[in-house]
Amino acid sequence: MAFDLEHFREQLLARRVELQAVMDSASDSAKPVELDQTRVGRLSRMDALQGQAMAKETERRRGVELQRIASALARIEDEDFGYCVTCGEEIPLKRLELDPAVTTCIACASK
């Protein structure tokens, strides 16, 4: 395989740093909502609860993305990077450029 593994490693590490920074700065959004109705109206509290739920889901998705990045970095170390985990065929370079953490070729992903 003629992939520049160092290029992909740098992309993955940069994305990991970016995600961790966003998660650190957004951690206040997922904190519990105060239920004191004398200070906050019912609709405002409902908005806050909805915002909290959305923040938790966003945080969960970022966690999944961090796991995908860690897995891709491990595949680089194991020299398995760039191969489909399902069929073993090479993943096209353009697909890897779009998402270096991708694990499957187009054919397997569309199944």
Q: Which of 12, 14, 6, 7 is nearest to 73 (CA)?
A: 12
Which stretch of DSSP H or E encloses residue 13?
helix 5-25
Whether this prediction's pTM lies above 0.95 is answered by no
pLDDT less than 50: residues of the chain: none
> What pLDDT sits at residue 37?
54
Tokens of 55: 């923040």
> What pLDDT sits at residue 6?
94
State the Cα angle at 29 between 24 and 34, rounded to 5°.
Answer: 135
Contacts (Cβ under 8 Å, ≥6 apart) of 8? 72, 76, 81, 96, 100
